[in-house]
Structure 1
Amino acid sequence: MPTATNTDDQPAPGFFFRFFVLAWIAYFRTLFDADFAAGVARLREGRPALPPPPEPEKKVEPEKKKPEPEKPVLREATPDAALQLLALLQREGRFVDFLEEDVASFSDAQVGAAARVVHEGCRKALREHVPLEPVRSEDEGAKLTLDKGFDAKAIRLTGNVVGEPPFKGTLAHRGWRAKDVKLPKMAEGHDARVIAPAEVEL
């Protein structure tokens, strides 16, 4: 009788070897070896006795931290220039007097007359010492498009700001930019905090 062979061209074990050796070994090992029993179960289902080798773990590269934006360097402004400008507005247009006055008891005509004087004097002071020009030359209400790279320091977006430039919108205010600053020089020892000296009539 020819000897049976397995799929690897090796002689298959005979009946008595299978019954008296392999069967009993397999029986007891199946009882006490869970991994071996799992292999037998896989063979019965027609799958390989050994589980597939585990897939190599994929190396997870740590996320690169985005560089933090540089914090703007804050410069401390000296108050002298602001106080000096306020003094000029007071001298030319009685600006501080107008703001500190309780106008609730005045009539609209009285407030309007006072505002006209303040407006004329303050406008004169600004045009002489801090001449201004509009940031945008278009008329207010005009439609315009802001391309990528527009000057965000000179243009403020309002409303529903979504996405990236170009932005299309309506010019609500032209803005103002100082063309020059021509404040008078202060004498040594001058106290800029005195916006307007008290007046004493003799």
Structure 2
Amino acid sequence: MTDQPASLSFFARFWLAWLCFWRCLVSREFAQAVLPTSKAYDAGQLAQLPSGGPAPTPLPKQEEVRPTPRAPEPPPALPPEREHASALSLLGMLQREGRFVDFLQENVSAFSDAEVGAAARIVHEGCRKVAQTYLTLERVLPQSEGDSVPVPVGFDAQRIRLTGNVAGQPPYNGILRHHGWMTTAVKLPTVSPAIDPRVLAPAEVELS
């Protein structure tokens, strides 16, 4: 194995380049001998030539590092009064039209049946108006109370609640005690952000 030549100085490389330059100009054979070496050097393949040195090791290709996209932040949680604004709005309408909250807050045990009945008539009329305006209500079962009704296998426990002597597995047959109610449409108005839905009814102050 031959020893590797010592590193050439600048002047030695300059003199060698000068000689090669003129010999390439005056000698076709010398130029043809140098041409393959020049092409191999340009292609980075000097290691394949018998007289060439080792080819430079190509640098590893660096992969493009892309920033990891940040997950969108969840919207801030609404305060309870805003989350339930529609329900509070409905309760406020029941109070405005039927004095519903006033009726619930009263201790009716201190009043006679006639007084309670008179107040209930006012509450009923106003609350019925609100329900008919903003809600569409339908019966869960179309039969009348007291009719015999079948309860099939796989019945919806949210729509039908069994009472009495419940034993075994469906199908059942029973007596309808209440037909139930379900809402098929809701038309509640949008609550403005400027309105505090917690205020079901404002305080009334009469000025003299």
* TM value normalised by structure 2: 0.57
Is the Cα contact below 8 Å between 2:152 and 2:171 reproduced in 1?
Answer: yes
Q: Which residue in 2 is equivalent to 1:200?
A: 205
Partner of 2:138: 133
- Secondary structure of 1:177's match? strand
Instruction: Give % identity.
Output: 57
Deviation at 1:194, TM superposition (A): 0.7
Name the aligned partner's letter for residue 142 of structure 2: S
Query: In the aligned structure 2, how far is the partner of 1:108 from the partner of 1:160?
Result: 35
Paired residues of 2:86 and 2:190 also in contact (CA < 8 A): no
For 1:131 and 1:100, locate their aligned partners in 2 and report how far apart those are by CA, in whole Å.
27
Describe the SS at the equivalent of 1:180: strand
Task: Describe how 1:110-149 pairs up with structure 2 within 5 A.
Answer: 110-149=115-154
Looking at structure 1, the residues matched to 123 and 167 of structure 2 have their Cα atoms a distance apart, in angstroms, of: 42
TM-score by length of 1: 0.59
Pair 1:92-2:100 in alignment: no
Divergent runs of 4+, >3 A: none
- Unaligned runs of 5+ residues in structure 2 are 1-79
2:196 aligned partner: 191
Write the letter of the residue equivalent to 1:135.
Answer: V
Consecutive unaligned residues in structure 1, runs of 5 or more: 1-75
Deviation string 1:64-89 (CA, Å, 9 cap, x unpaired) is xxxxxxxxxxxx99322221111010
Count of matched residue positions in the alignment of Structure 1 and Structure 2: 127
Q: 1: distance between equivalents of 2:110 and 2:166? A: 43
Work out which of the residue numbers 150, 165, 169 in structure 1 matches 2:170: 165
Structure 2 residue 181 is the aligned partner of structure 1 residue 176: yes
Question: 1:78 matched to which residue of 2?
Answer: 83
Question: Which residue number in structure 1 is paired with residue 160 of structure 2?
Answer: 155
Report the Cα distance in structure 2 between the residues aligned to 1:126 and 1:158, rounded to whole angstroms.
Answer: 28
- RMSD over aligned CA atoms reads 1.8
Does the residue aligned with 1:191 lie in a helix, a strand or coil?
Answer: coil
The residue matched to 1:195 in structure 2 has which SS? coil
What are the superposed Cα offsets for residues 120-165 of structure 1, whole Å, 9 maximum, x if unpaired?
A: 0001111111221110000111111111122222111112222221
Matches of 1:148 and 1:107 in 2, distance apart?
Answer: 48
Q: Give the letter for the 1:91 counterpart.
A: R
